[in-house]
Amino acid sequence: MFVSNIEGLLVLDKPAGMTSRAVVDRVQRWFPKRTRIGHAGTLDPLATGVLVLCLGGSTRLIEYIQRMEKVYRTRLLLGARSDSDDTDGNITPVPGAVAADAATVAACVAGFVGTIEQIPPAYSAVKVSGQRAYDLARRGEDVSLSSHSVHIYSIQILNYAYPHLELEVRCGKGTYIRSLARDVGERLGFGALVQELRRTRIGPFTSEGALTLDADPETARARLLPAEMAVAELPRVVLPDSERKRLEQGQVVAVAESPAGMDKSKEVAVFDAAGGLAAVAMFDSQRRTLQPVKVFHSKNQ
Q: Which of 13, 44, 85, 86 is catalytic?
A: 44
Instruction: For 143-168, give the DSSP string.
Output: -----EEEEEEEEEEEEEETTEEEEE
Q: How far apart are CA 262 and CA 177, in angstroms?
A: 32
DSSP designation for 210: P
For the chain, the helix, strand and coil percentages under 3-state DSSP, each to the nearest 5:
25, 35, 40
44 catalytic? Reply is yes
Q: Quick check: helix, strand or coil at residue 173?
A: coil
> Radius of gyration (Cα) for the chain, nearest Å?
22
Q: Give the residue among 90, 124, 119 at the shortest CA–CA distance from 20.
A: 124
Q: Would you say how long the chain is, in residues? A: 301
With left for phi above 0 and alpha for psi between -120 and 50, is residue 56 left, alpha or beta?
A: left
CA distance 151 to 114: 5
Enumerate the active-site residues: 44
